[in-house]
Amino acid sequence: MLEKALSGSNRYWAWIFFLLAVIGIGCIAYMKQLNEGLGITGLSRDVSWGLYIGQFTFLVGVAASAVMLVIPYYLHDFKKFSKIVILGEFLAVSAVIMCVLFIMADMGQPMRVANILLHPTPGSIVFWDVVVLNGYLLLNIVIGWTTLGADRKGVKPPDWVKPLIYLSVPWAVSIHTVTAFLYAGIPGRHFWLTAVMAARFLASAFSGGPALLILLALLVRKFSKFDPGAEAIQAVGKIVTYAMFANVFLLGLEFFTAFYSNIPGHMHPFLYLYTGIDGHTKLVPFMWISSILAVVSLAILVFPHLRRNENILAFACAILFISLWIDKGFGLIIGGFVPNMFEGITEYWPTLLETLITIGVWAMGFLVLTVLYKVAIAVREEDAAVEH
C-alpha cells in the first residue's frame, strides 16, 4: 500500500520537500548538539528538562487520544466513526514516533540508550514508559495497517486484530498514565507531586488530541475526495468539549489545594508561572495566553450551535490546541523546576538551536503523518470510486 504515497500532485510533493528541508535544518542543528553537548540548549543545572521533554509529554497525550475514536467505534459500534478512526490511529503512530525522537534529542549519551533495555529496571518509570510507548506504536501500526488493507480489498479485518484493538484501549490509557507517573512520583517537587496528575494528563490528552484530529480531518476533506464525515467531526467536537471541561476542572483543583493549604512549596510554582516571582516573569504572558485561550475555546465549544459551524469549530479547536500546548508542552515541565530545590529561581528559555531541533522533530512527525494519511486517503478514494 505504501506505493500510494509515491504518487501525488505537485502540491503534495511541494509539501513533502518543504518538510524534508525543515527536517534537514533540524538535523544540522542536532549534529551541533551531538558534537557540543546539551549545553547548546537553554537548560541548566536547575532547569534540567525543557522543551524536548515538554514536547514529548504533550505528544504522548496526542498519541493516547486515538482511543477516543477507538472506544466509540469498536466498543460501542458507533458507525459514524468508521472512516475517521484510521486518521486517529495514524495520528497516534506519528505522535509516538515524535515522542521517541524527542527523548533521543534529550539524551546526553544517545549512543547508550540501549542500556535501558540491556538493564531492565522495573523500579524506574522511564523503563516502563519506553515499554508502553513502543508497544503502543507497534499496536497502532499493526491495527491501522491491517484494517486499512482489509478495507482496500473490501473485506472485513481478520479476526486476530480484534483482541489487539481491545488491548489498545487500556494501552492508550497506560501510556499517558505512566508518563504522568514520571512526574507524579518524585518527592520534593511539589508542582508535580499530585495524585490528579495522571487524570489531568488524560483529560488534556483527550481534548488536545481530538482537537488536532478535527483540524486534520477538515484539511483532509478540503484537499482530497475523502470525507471523514461531518457527523463524525461533530461527535469528536463533543468529546473535545467534555474533556476540556474536565481538564480545566482538574487544573482548578490544583489551584485550590495549593492556595487553600497555603503551603509555600505548593504555591510557588503557580505563582512563578502566573504572576512571576521577584521579577522573574518569562513564562507569565504565555501562561495567561494559555488560560485565556482555554476559556475562549470553552465559551465557544459549550454552545452546540456555534460548534456546528465548522469554521467556528476549527477556530475553537486551534486555540484550544495552542492553549494546551503551552500549558503541558512548556509550563508543566518548567513549573516543576522553578523554584529549584532550595527555592532559588533560575529561568529557562529555549535557544535557537534547541527550537530548530524541536521544529525538525515536528516536521518528521508531519512527514510520517502525511505519508500515512496519503495511503489512507488513496485507499478510501478508491473505495468511494468502487461504491458509486
Strand partners, 280: 277
Question: Which CB sits closer to another protein, 38 or 150?
Answer: 38
Question: Which CB sits closer to another protein, 37 or 285?
Answer: 37
Question: Which CB sits closer to another protein, 189 or 282?
Answer: 189
Question: Which CB sits closer to another protein, 127 or 315?
Answer: 127
109: CB partners within 8 A, 6+ apart: none
DSSP 147: H
Strand partners, 277: 280
Question: Which CB sits closer to another protein, 267 or 359?
Answer: 267
Stretch that binds another protein, among 120-128, 156-164, 165-173, 310-318 (CB under 8 A): 120-128
Report, in Å, the least distance between residue 119 CB and another protein: 5
Alpha carbon distance 253, 248 (integer Å): 9
Estimate to the nearest angstrom the gap between the alpha carbon of 77 and the chain centroid.
Answer: 26
Report, in Å, the least distance between residue 127 CB and another protein: 5
Among 187, 278, 385, 388, binds another protein (CB under 8 A): 187
Q: Compute the half-sphere exposure of residue 68: CA atoms within 13 Å on the CB side of its CA.
A: 33
Q: How many residues does the chain have?
A: 388
Stretch that binds another protein, among 79-87, 100-108, 172-180, 324-332 (CB under 8 A): 100-108
Among 6, 155, 341, 386, binds another protein (CB under 8 A): 341
DSSP for 158-213?
A: PTTHHHHHHHHHHHHHHHHHHHHHHHHT-TT-TTT--TTHHHHHHHHHHHHHHHHH
CA angle 201, 206, 208 (to 5 degrees): 90
Report, in Å, the least distance between residue 192 CB and another protein: 9
Among 82, 340, 351, 355, binds another protein (CB under 8 A): 340
Residue 224 binds to another protein (criterion: CB under 8 A): no
Asked if the peptide bond before residue 339 counts as cis, ω within 30 degrees of 0, the response is yes
Alpha carbon distance 371, 75 (integer Å): 28
Among 11, 108, 153, 159, binds another protein (CB under 8 A): 108
Residue 222 binds to another protein (criterion: CB under 8 A): no
Among 45, 153, 222, 388, binds another protein (CB under 8 A): 45
Residue 27 binds to another protein (criterion: CB under 8 A): no
Please check whether residue 33 is in contact with residue 357, taking contact to mean a CB–CB distance below 8 angstroms: yes
DSSP for 271-340?
A: HHHHT-BTTB-TTHHHHHHHHHHHHHHHHHHTSHHHHHSHHHHHHHHHHHHHHHHHIIIIIHHHHHHSS-
Among 6, 11, 76, 111, binds another protein (CB under 8 A): 111
Residue 37 binds to another protein (criterion: CB under 8 A): yes
Alpha carbon distance 347, 37 (integer Å): 20
Report, in Å, the least distance between residue 46 CB and another protein: 7
Please check whether residue 232 is in contact with residue 210, taking contact to mean a CB–CB distance below 8 angstroms: no
Alpha carbon distance 93, 97 (integer Å): 6
Question: Which CB sits closer to another protein, 231 or 343?
Answer: 343
Question: Which CB sits closer to another protein, 90 or 337?
Answer: 337
Among 16, 25, 113, 271, binds another protein (CB under 8 A): 113
Please check whether residue 93 is in contact with residue 137, taking contact to mean a CB–CB distance below 8 angstroms: yes
Report, in Å, the least distance between residue 351 CB and another protein: 12
Stretch that binds another protein, among 92-100, 125-133, 217-225, 364-372 (CB under 8 A): 125-133
C-alpha cell at 206: 483527550
Kindly identify the residues of this chain, within the stretch 229-288, that bind another protein according to CB under 8 A.
Answer: 264
Question: Which CB sits closer to another protein, 129 or 327?
Answer: 129
Fill in the per-residue mask, 130 to 169: x = in contact with another protein (CB under 8 A), - = not in contact: x---------------------------------------
DSSP for 109-166?
A: -GGGTTHHHHS--TT-HHHHHHHHHHHHHHHHHHHHHHHHHHHHHTSPPPTTHHHHHH
Residues that bind another protein in the complex, under the rule CB under 8 A: 31, 34-39, 43-46, 48-49, 103, 106-113, 115-116, 118-119, 121, 123-127, 130, 182, 186-189, 264, 336-337, 340-344
